Amino acid sequence: MKNYVKAIPCYALLMATFTVYANDSTKLQRITPPAAAVNLYEKAEWTIDLTANYSNPYDQREIKLDMCLVSPSGKPLLLPAYFDQVNHHWQSRFAPQETGQYQYYFELIAGKDTVQSKPSVFTVYKSTRKGFLHKNDLWTFRFDNGELFRGVGENVAWESRSFEDDKWTYDYLLPSLAHNGANFFRTWMCYWNLPLEWKQPRSTKRYQPSAEYFHPGAIRRMDQLVDMCDSLGLYFMLTLDWHGHLMEHGGWKHSSYNKANGGPAETPTAFFTSQQAQEKYKNKLRYIIARWGYSSSIAVWEFFNEVDNAAFTQQDSILIPLPVIAQWHLEMSRYLKDIDPYHHLVSTSISHRDIIGMNAIPYIDFNQKHIYKHTEKIPGIYPDYIQTFGKPYVVGEFGYRWEDQDPKYATEANYDYRRGLWYGMFSPTPVLPMSWWWELFDDQHMTPYLQSVSTINKMMLQAGKGQFEQLPVQAAILESYAIKCGNTIFVYALNNTTKQQSADIRVNIPSGYTLQCFHPLKNTWNKSIYKRTADGTVQISNTVLPAKEEIILVFKP
């Protein structure tokens, strides 16, 4: 006769003593705690050796190992553990968010057996790290330590494909971003980049076919990416899937979800509706949280890139019913929030067609869309979505063209790159619009321009300590925007014409302010003077800007 453990909730008081009963086939044999001190927001690892009956260690319906914790403040936490296919043991990676003494035990569920370890404790010490990013307001995210953040960067959606220059790697691109003041980027999991669920990677020389449930090359590269970002001080949005995965003539025919390949779904629609497909996807989410959730460099989990492009044809006929996509996002975002003890930000994205109901999902922290060929529309996007849905909005991609990165359009693309960033800087968004075609902009030596954007971004955050107030400004033929951050006022003026222009800039400024002018293209400053008109408005007379150039005016008390 088998003996089973008496059911004890994972959030039970850990100081209580209890007895574990199990059969011979289900055991927690050895738990090895971290060898070094455990520090705030830093990774600590436990190694767990166990015995259980299962065929797939990544299927939580067969086997599930959790680390059950109570924080020093009394907060219960549940941390999934994962199977390490290289060393053939289980691991738990944890980054504490409180100092003091944690209590914990491990719970193993295999089939009908449940086994719990003896309770134990560990102490967390202070560190200099900032912690994880969370929602704050329409303009900023907030670290655990209270410091505010606005994202400045671009897309680096993948490393070079098999037909592209081999130099386009994370190792080459990400240090360049960090060196030039960027703090944020966005990257994809797909069949040619970090192909976690792809047995047959394609269009890549970096990953080889694998019969494993999760691709070992993708796991190894993801470990390296997280370590790299931790060392560089970069934060990123990890896009877990892309629309091409669900296209009949795209990734679907090679998908591990496709029934033709042994998966649980007969059609792309069934990817969203099949219970078995949903369970398979939850296995992926659980593994991702268990293996990489500890990293504060991962700022955002993004479910899909441009999911509307899978739902619609180019003629806007519906291929996948929109309600099932919205319902899937509701279910998966709720599940992800439940299993992520760090409460990473969660999002998803569309190209240009909204999925009814998706923008209002409460477990999605901010909404996104992508803008191509209409960069001038970016400032007007935020107010509409914010007013309707009451949550932050992000332009996850933008560019002069979506078709290609033909260098013959480089001049226009470079101009779009610049103004898109400033449109975001002077609009309510926690992440400035992120350009596409990172290879082109590296070739065009545009990355150093991020230094200028980063300079103003830091000034705004320091001056206002999170206060942003849009102000009216007039600049005749120049396009202009103004923001008050604390007692400092920033004005952006752009000559969006093909000829040099001169104009007076008028804005309401209190008495006793000095003016400095910042020239982003040169990354230089100079002092300037202004006069006060009869109605009290400040006027900067005859501001001269060459065609397609911008200037930032900074008024300080």
Mean pLDDT, the chain, integer: 94
CA distance 16 to 5: 15
Domain interval for residue 78: 27-125
Binned at pLDDT 50, 70 and 90, residue 249 comes out as confident
Residues 159 and 55 in one domain: no
Q: What tokens does 260 get? A: 């033709």
Q: Which residue has the higher pLDDT, 519 or 20?
A: 519
CATH code at 84?
2.60.40.10
Residues 534 and 442 in one domain: no
Residues 207 and 102 in one domain: no
SS3 53: coil
The type of residue at 502 is S
Neighbours of 528 (CB within 10 A): 14
pLDDT at 316: 87
- Give Cα 81 distance to the centre of its chain: 22
Residues 298 and 346 in one domain: yes
pLDDT at 87: 93
Residues 6+ apart with CB under 8 A from 93: 43, 44, 45, 290, 291, 292, 293, 294
- Identify whether 134 is part of a domain: no
* Strand partners for 180: none
pLDDT at 11: 42
pLDDT > 70 fraction of the chain, expressed in percent and rounded: 96
- Identify whether 192 is part of a domain: yes
CA distance 106 to 68: 6
Q: What tokens does 307 get? A: 């999911």
pLDDT at 5: 36
Kindly report, residue by residue over 507-549, the tens digit of the pLDDT.
999 999 999 999 999 999 999 889 998 888 999 999 999 999 9
Q: What tokens does 257 get? A: 């979800």
Please check the confidence at residue 2 and state whether its pLDDT lies above 80: no
Please check the confidence at residue 497 and state whether its pLDDT lies above 50: yes
- Identify whether 135 is part of a domain: no
- Identify whether 16 is part of a domain: no
Residues 188 and 309 in one domain: yes
- Identify whether 179 is part of a domain: yes
- What is the model's pTM? 0.95
Phi, psi of 540 (to 5 degrees): -100, 105
pLDDT at 535: 85
Binned at pLDDT 50, 70 and 90, residue 23 comes out as low
CATH code at 235?
3.20.20.80
Residues 120 and 148 in one domain: no
- Identify whether 80 is part of a domain: yes
Residues 187 and 286 in one domain: yes
CA distance 496 to 375: 12
pLDDT at 534: 83
pLDDT at 222: 98
User: Which of 311, 316, 341 has the alpha carbon at shortest distance from 328?
Assistant: 311
- Taking residues 168-186, what's their average pLDDT? 98
Please check the confidence at residue 19 and state whether its pLDDT lies above 60: no
- Identify whether 18 is part of a domain: no
Binned at pLDDT 50, 70 and 90, residue 107 comes out as very high
Torsional sign, CA 169, 172, 177, 183 = positive
Domain boundary among 125, 158, 177: 125
Count of domains for the chain: 3
pLDDT at 1: 29
Kindly report, residue by residue over 69-98, the tens digit of the pLDDT.
999 999 999 999 999 999 999 999 999 999
Residues 366 and 490 in one domain: no
- Taking residues 166-185, what's their average pLDDT? 98
Residues 89 and 200 in one domain: no
Residues 475 and 397 in one domain: no
pLDDT at 25: 86
Domain boundary among 125, 158, 184: 125
Domain boundary among 464, 497, 517: 464
Residues 83 and 182 in one domain: no
Kindly report, residue by residue over 389-432, the tens digit of the pLDDT.
999 999 999 999 999 999 999 999 999 999 999 999 999 999 99
Please check the confidence at residue 22 and state whether its pLDDT lies above 60: no
- Identify whether 15 is part of a domain: no
CATH code at 512?
2.60.40.1180
Residues 6+ apart with CB under 8 A from 43: 93, 94, 95, 294, 295
Binned at pLDDT 50, 70 and 90, residue 183 comes out as very high
Binned at pLDDT 50, 70 and 90, residue 187 comes out as very high
Binned at pLDDT 50, 70 and 90, residue 15 comes out as very low
Residues 206 and 331 in one domain: yes
pLDDT at 232: 98
